[in-house]
């Protein structure tokens, strides 16, 4: 019974943990402009994060080593430093977007300007990183994040026209938008589904929780069941926007527009649930990106790291996290629109993805680390196909962003 | 001098540049129980005609998966060879000079 509970808890937190501000905003924007015609990207992206997180979790559980230790060992210090710089920067951008997301959600709940919530959010993140145990933190944010199921409820309450949605999903290129914009959002959705921090966090968290080979089954279940269910919620978010906003020509540009269909379909109660869900999901992701900032730097330079270590024992790890939160705070204090930061962060996620994906794919095949648990042939076929796809998305991302003026 | 400074150094033989150092091989005396102990000794340097960087582990003959990546990284490192330390005439971080009669060994690791 205890075991079933642990398995269920793992899956539930994976669902809640899958969605962050990038997924919420990007799916709503895409739904309001393209309907479900980019739904295939969510499916492809979710399968991709399953392949990637499965390999990263396996590497962490079998070798007991975290991502950036391995990257440095495999690529050598110089190439790994370039890799670290890019990954660290993208993670910082994502962290900024998540803290902004918490503040925007709190603004929706309180009508107090989000800029006043930003320092509160950043301080709360730091407090949790410092004081709260790893599993408690993961379980609470993951479970409250499950309230985002409200998007699925709203989707069904809106009375989906399946024929129309099916037509959108089958129609690859809507005529009202330019092909460049369509492909820009395809890359953005792909980047939102496959954010690099998810993998640093997933594998470092596995080391923090002391996973071993016997936890592989649980890890596989969390990924293979939890992430697709999270992807299902992504489709529901896009679907809500497609049903309520696309027909009246509202293009999502703010968080209040993201939740508009929910208010329309489910009233105040559902709206409250969704806002709480968004706060939990972005708060959880802010914690994960903050920790990831500490993980990547500490693992690269060989510092003591770990959430369970007190600041005095892992001073550089904790200082890194504080500095990153302060930088994020500073960026948001300039008044830059957090939704814009989010859109940029998911695109740059796509740019940086090959840097962490490739070393994981190589190490997952290395018998010196993995013994008998090296990738199967089928996993390698999928792993390499995704590497090709990730490379194409990474190369296309910045040109598409420039050509479309960030999707305008 | 640090060994890391040797990596990327140009390699000369008979006055002309033939490539760059991409790796330095060490030898650790093997203990009877399979444990490697003792002081590592520099065994040789791996020279590649191009500046390709690391082999990423694909220099080991048993590293064959994933197949496409293994093939790509082997292709990128084509023409690489191992030169024993005794076959180096001069070593500095600006250049490594090979003896004219230096043997070129396979860089593969069993």
pTM of the model: 0.90
Q: HSE (CB half, 13 Å, CA atoms) of A245?
A: 30
* B54 to A76: CB separation less than 8 angstroms, yes or no: yes
Question: What does the pLDDT read at residue A148?
Answer: 94
Divide the 110 residues of chain B into consecutive groups of 10 and give the mean pLDDT of each group.
85 91 84 69 91 81 87 90 92 90 88
User: Which one, of A2, A88, A406, A44, lies nearest residue A231 by Cα?
Assistant: A44
ipTM, two decimals, is 0.83
What are the chain A neighbours of B54 within 8 Å (beta carbons)? 74-76, 79
Q: Is A73 on the interface with B (CB under 8 A)?
A: no
For residue A379, pLDDT beyond 90:
yes
Extents of the domains making up chain A: 2-404
**Tokens coding A218:** 């649980």
Share of chain A above pLDDT 70, in %: 99
* B66 to A77: CB separation less than 8 angstroms, yes or no: no
For residue A223, pLDDT beyond 70:
yes
Could you tell me how many CB contacts below 8 A there are between chain A and chain B?
A: 36
**Inter-residue contact A331 to A121 (CB < 8 Å):** no
Task: Please indicate whether residue B37 or residue A396 has the higher confidence score (pLDDT).
Answer: A396
Round to whole Å and give the CA distance between B8 and B50. 10
**Inter-residue contact A228 to A213 (CB < 8 Å):** no
CATH homologous superfamily for the domain A2-404: Hydantoin permease (1.10.4160.10)
What are the chain A neighbours of B62 within 8 Å (beta carbons)? 367
Task: Please indicate whether residue B55 or residue A301 has the higher confidence score (pLDDT).
Answer: A301
**Tokens coding A148:** 């985002």
Rg over CA atoms, chain A = 20
**Inter-residue contact B27 to B40 (CB < 8 Å):** yes
For residue A235, pLDDT beyond 90:
yes
Q: Hey, of B52, B57, B66, which one would you mutate to test binding to chain A, going by the most A CBs within 10 A of its CB?
A: B66
For residue A176, pLDDT beyond 80:
no
What are the chain A neighbours of B56 within 8 Å (beta carbons)? 74-75, 362
Alpha carbon of B8: minimum distance to chain A alpha carbons (Å): 11
CATH topology of domain B3-98: SH3 type barrels. (2.30.30)
What is the CB neighbour count within 10 angstroms for residue A279? 23
Mean pLDDT throughout A305-317? 89
Alpha carbon of A222: minimum distance to chain B alpha carbons (Å): 25
For residue A16, pLDDT beyond 90:
no
């Amino acid at each position: 019974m205890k075991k079933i509970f642990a398995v269920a808890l793992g899956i539930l937190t994976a669902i809640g943990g899958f969605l962050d501000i990038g997924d919420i905003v990007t799916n709503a924007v895409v739904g309001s402009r393209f309907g479900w015609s980019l739904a295939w990207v969510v499916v492809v992206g979710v399968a991709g994060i399953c392949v990637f997180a499965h390999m990263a979790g396996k590497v962490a559980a079998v070798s007991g080593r975290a991502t950036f230790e391995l990257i440095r060992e495999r690529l050598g210090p110089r190439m790994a430093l370039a890799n670290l710089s890019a990954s660290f920067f993208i993670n910082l951008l994502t962290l900024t977007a998540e803290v902004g997301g918490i503040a925007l959600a709190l603004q929706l709940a309180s009508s107090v300007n989000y800029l006043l919530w930003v320092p509160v959010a950043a301080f709360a993140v730091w407090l949790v990183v410092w004081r709260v145990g790893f599993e408690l933190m993961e379980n609470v944010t993951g479970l409250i994040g499950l309230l985002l199921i409200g998007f699925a409820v709203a989707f069904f309450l809106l009375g989906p026209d399946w024929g129309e949605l099916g037509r959108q999903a089958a129609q690859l290129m809507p005529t009202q938008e330019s092909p460049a914009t369509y492909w820009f959002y395809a890359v953005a959705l792909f980047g939102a589904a496959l954010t690099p921090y998810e993998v640093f966090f997933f594998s470092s968290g596995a080391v923090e929780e002391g996973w071993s080979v016997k936890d592989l089954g649980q890890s596989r279940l969390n990924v293979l069941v939890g992430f697709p269910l999270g992807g299902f919620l992504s489709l529901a978010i896009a679907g809500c926007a497609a049903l309520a906003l696309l027909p009246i020509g509202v293009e999502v540009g703010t968080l209040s527009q993201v939740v508009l269909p929910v208010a329309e379909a489910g009233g105040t109660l559902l709206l409250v649930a969704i806002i709480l869900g968004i706060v939990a999901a972005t708060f959880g992701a802010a914690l994960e990106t903050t920790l990831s900032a500490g993980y990547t730097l500490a693992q690269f330079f060989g510092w003591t790291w770990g959430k369970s270590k007190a600041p005095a024992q892992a001073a550089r790890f904790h200082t890194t996290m504080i500095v990153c939160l302060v930088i994020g705070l500073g960026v948001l204090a300039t008044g830059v629109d957090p939704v814009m930061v989010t859109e940029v962060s998911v695109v740059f996620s796509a740019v940086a993805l090959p840097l962490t994906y490739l070393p994981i794919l190589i190490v997952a095949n290395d018998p010196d680390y993995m013994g008998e648990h090296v990738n199967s042939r089928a996993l390698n076929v999928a792993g390499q196909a995704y590497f090709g796809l990730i490379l194409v998305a990474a190369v296309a991302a910045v040109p598409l962003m420039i050509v479309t003026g960030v999707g305008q | 001098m640090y060994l890391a400074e040797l990596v990327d150094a140009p390699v000369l033989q008979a006055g002309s540049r033939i490539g760059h150092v991409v790796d330095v091989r060490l030898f650790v005396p093997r203990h009877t129980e399979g444990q490697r102990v003792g002081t590592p000794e520099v065994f040789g340097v791996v020279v590649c005609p191009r500046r390709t960087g690391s082999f990423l582990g694909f220099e080991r003959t048993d590293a064959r998966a994933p197949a496409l990546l293994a093939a790509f990284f082997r292709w990128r490192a084509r023409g690489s060879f191992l030169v024993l330390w005794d076959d180096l005439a001069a070593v500095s971080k600006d250049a490594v000079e090979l003896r004219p009669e230096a043997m070129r060994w396979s860089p593969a690791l069993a």
